[in-house]
Amino acid sequence: MSCPDLAALAAAHADPGAHRAVVEHVHAGCASCAAHWRRLDVFEAVAALGPLPQVPAHLHAAALAIPEQQTAGVAGRLLSLVGRLVFDSAGGRLVPGLRDAGAGRRHLLYEAGPYEIDLALVEPATLVGQVMGPEDADLRDAVVLLSGEGRTFDAAVLEHGDFHLDGVAPGRYALQIGSDDLDLVLPDVDLTSPGSA
Amino acid sequence: MGDPSPRRREDSTELVARVRADAPGAWARLVRRYERLVLSVPRGMGLSEDDCEEVFQATWMALHRQIHGLRDPGSLGDWIITTARRQAWKHLRRTSLRRQREGASLPSESEAGEGVRQEPASPDAPPIDEVLRLERRQIVHEVLEGMPTRCRRLLEALYLGRDDPSYAEVARRLGMPIGSLGPTRARCLAELARRLEEAGLS
């Protein structure tokens, strides 16, 4: 048979026993009808999961209010800062006061507002770092996430802002240091050349 | 970019562009369209209601902060799923670290509530199957919400209801002749299939 109209196809999907000729047509290999049939399969599968969760009114209102709050500078206490690279041992001399990463290490220093993030890629595959901020900066509970090259690593920020991540292969990564009230983002950390210092 | 035509549902690329341009109502439309998807992610990971609320708000704040930098606004659903999942993971991780630091023993599963995961899930990108499932669910619900009221109500009654109503019950609820339900369902499913195709569901 030739392709049925879409309503006939839908009727067959809803009641295959009553529309065997259409079902046979679909299963005989008609790509167009089979694609519509699959979409109706997906609809039924999604419907079987039930409706998506209803969002409580107070949460809906909170989400709606975010632009105004952020404009007014009262968006909770979250401070989000994007860091910029201020030193790379692969391309320059150490700046005064910076910890020496040692031979065979790649050393990077970022600034994000009043924060400094100091990174060193230690061969073979360990990234050690330290985040330093204002005296009143509270980095307790902060978590470091390093994402890239198809993997994600995580570590807790220790006392004095230190952290280290093992198993980090050379590559390009995004690093995020987050706590309840702080989000430091280094969107492009170049670790392609360990030990080039 | 002006307001969306009432006859055509704006896609996520257009919607993001309007939010970036601070168009009136654009952020509210974005929230309405995706809020249920956002909430479904931490719920699907088994977080408590309080934790789900925190993840929900953190995800919207992240989207608002980063909306100007989104590389592919056409994949906003995917971005939201991944971000909500990471927010959920970060939340669990911080809670876990705080408990470790305070030396508190983790409550048993029964104390924490059924299905609540105590250890952080992996923050890696969610499995493709999960993203596909959530994306498809979002697309189907978006398309369904954009259907003509009569069709939407009929399909919801027949397919999404918690009960399994008879044709007679559905006809009564919707005020339709019982003999018209079958043909109307076929027409509505056909329209749904057309719209799912337009929405990119393969």
Reported confidence tier of residue B201, pLDDT bands at 50, 70, 90: confident
- In this structure, the answer to whether residues B12 and B105 fall within a common structural domain is yes
Name the domain count of chain B: 2
- In this structure, the answer to whether residues B109 and B180 fall within a common structural domain is no
**Region of residue B14 (left: phi > 0; alpha: psi -120 to 50; beta: else):** alpha
Return the amino acid letter for A92. G
What φ, ψ does residue A168 adopt, rounded to 5°?
A: -85, 110
Angle at B60 between CA B59 and CA B63, to 5 degrees: 90
Task: Establish if B142 belongs to a structural domain.
Answer: no
Q: How far is A195 from chain B (nearest CA, A)?
A: 27
Q: pLDDT by residue (tens digit) across A113-168?
A: 888 999 988 877 889 999 988 776 777 678 888 888 878 788 888 878 889 888 88
Model pLDDT, residue B189: 93
Model pLDDT, residue B126: 53
Q: Which residue has the tokens 């993030």?
A: A117
Residue B170 or residue B125, greater confidence: B170
Model pLDDT, residue B19: 93
Q: In chain A, positions 115-154, which contact chain B (CB-CB < 8 Å)?
A: 140-141, 143, 145, 147, 151-152, 154
Q: In chain A, positions 64-123, which contact chain B (CB-CB < 8 Å)?
A: 64, 66-67, 70, 75-76, 78, 80
Tell me the Cα Rg of chain A. Answer: 27
- In this structure, the answer to whether residues B176 and B82 fall within a common structural domain is no
Reported confidence tier of residue A104, pLDDT bands at 50, 70, 90: low
Contacts of A78 in chain B (CB under 8 A): 61
- In this structure, the answer to whether residues B2 and B70 fall within a common structural domain is yes
* CB of A31 less than 8 A from some CB of B: no
Task: Establish if B131 belongs to a structural domain.
Answer: no
Picking from A38, A53, A145, the nearest residue to B39 by CB comes out as A53
Task: Establish if B128 belongs to a structural domain.
Answer: no
Q: pLDDT by residue (tens digit) across A163-172?
A: 988 888 888 8
Residue B140 has pLDDT above 50, yes or no: yes
Picking from B86, B138, B194, the nearest residue to A6 by CB comes out as B194
Task: Establish if B36 belongs to a structural domain.
Answer: yes
Which structure tokens are listed for B120? 């952080």
Selection from B158, B160, B197 nearest residue B174 by Cα: B158
Which structure tokens are listed for B13? 């690329």
Task: Establish if B139 belongs to a structural domain.
Answer: no
CB contact under 8 A, B61 and A76: yes
Model pLDDT, residue A72: 58
Model pLDDT, residue A18: 83
- Cis ω before A124 (30° cut-off from 0): yes
Model pLDDT, residue B8: 57
- In this structure, the answer to whether residues B14 and B107 fall within a common structural domain is yes
CB contact under 8 A, A152 and B123: yes
Portion of chain A with pLDDT greater than 90, in percent: 9
Helix or strand or coil: residue B183?
Answer: helix
Tell me how far apart the alpha carbons of residues B6 and A186 are, in angstroms, rounded to a whole number. 41
Q: How far is A92 from chain B (nearest CA, A)?
A: 30
Q: Residue B7 belongs to what H/E stretch?
A: none
Q: pLDDT by residue (tens digit) across B20-68?
A: 999 989 999 999 999 999 999 898 888 888 889 989 998 998 899 888 8
Contacts of A174 in chain B (CB under 8 A): none
Helices (H), B21-107: 26-44, 49-66, 76-102
Domain A79-191 in CATH 1.20.1270: no
| Per-residue exposure over A106-136, b if at least 16 CB sit within 10 Å of its own CB, e if not | bbbbbebeebbbbbbbbeeeebbbbbebeee
Task: Establish if B202 belongs to a structural domain.
Answer: yes
B14-21 long-range contacts (CB < 8 A, ≥24 apart) are B15/B73, B15/B76, B16/B67, B16/B70, B16/B73, B16/B76, B17/B73, B19/B67, B20/B67, B20/B68
- For the complex shown, is ipTM > 0.85? no
Reported confidence tier of residue A87, pLDDT bands at 50, 70, 90: confident
Look up the domain containing B156 and give its range. 147-202
Q: Which residues contact B77 (CB under 8 A, 6 or more apart)?
A: B12, B34, B37, B134, B135, B138, B139
